[in-house]
Amino acid sequence: MPTCRHCYSVYPREQFIHGNGPKAQVCVRCGVEKGLVTEDEVASLYTSSNANARFSALARRWSPLMWLSVLWTAWIVFLNEVDPWGLYTLILLGVFTLIVPVYMLFFSSKHMAVMTRLTPDYERPKGH
Read off the pLDDT of residues 34-69 as tens digits, 9 standing for 90 and up. 999 998 888 788 888 999 999 999 999 999 999 999
Based on the domain organization, do 54 and 21 belong to the same domain?
no
Tell me whether residue 123 is in a domain: no
Based on the domain organization, do 62 and 25 belong to the same domain?
no
- Structurally, the chain folds into a number of domains equal to 2
Based on the domain organization, do 30 and 83 belong to the same domain?
no
* 3-state SS record for 10-65: ECCHHHECCCCHHHCCCEHHHHHHCCCCCCCCCCCCCCHHHHHHHHHHHHHHHHHH
Tell me whether residue 74 is in a domain: yes
Based on the domain organization, do 14 and 55 belong to the same domain?
no
Residue range 96-120: mean pLDDT, rounded: 94
* Average pLDDT in the chain: 90
Q: How many CB atoms lie within 10 A of CB 123?
A: 8
Based on the domain organization, do 58 and 28 belong to the same domain?
no
Compute the chain's Rg from CA coordinates. 22
Tell me whether residue 128 is in a domain: no
Distance CA 61, CA 21 (A): 41
Based on the domain organization, do 80 and 28 belong to the same domain?
no
- pLDDT of 79 > 70? The answer is yes
Helices (H) and strands (E) in the chain, counts: 4, 0
Based on the domain organization, do 2 and 35 belong to the same domain?
yes
Distance CA 115, CA 55 (A): 10
Q: Give the pLDDT score at 75.
A: 94
- What is the pLDDT confidence band of residue 123, given thresholds at 50, 70 and 90? low
Percent of residues, the chain, with pLDDT higher than 70: 95
- pLDDT of 121 > 80? The answer is no
Domain that holds residue 97: 48-117
- pLDDT of 108 > 90? The answer is yes
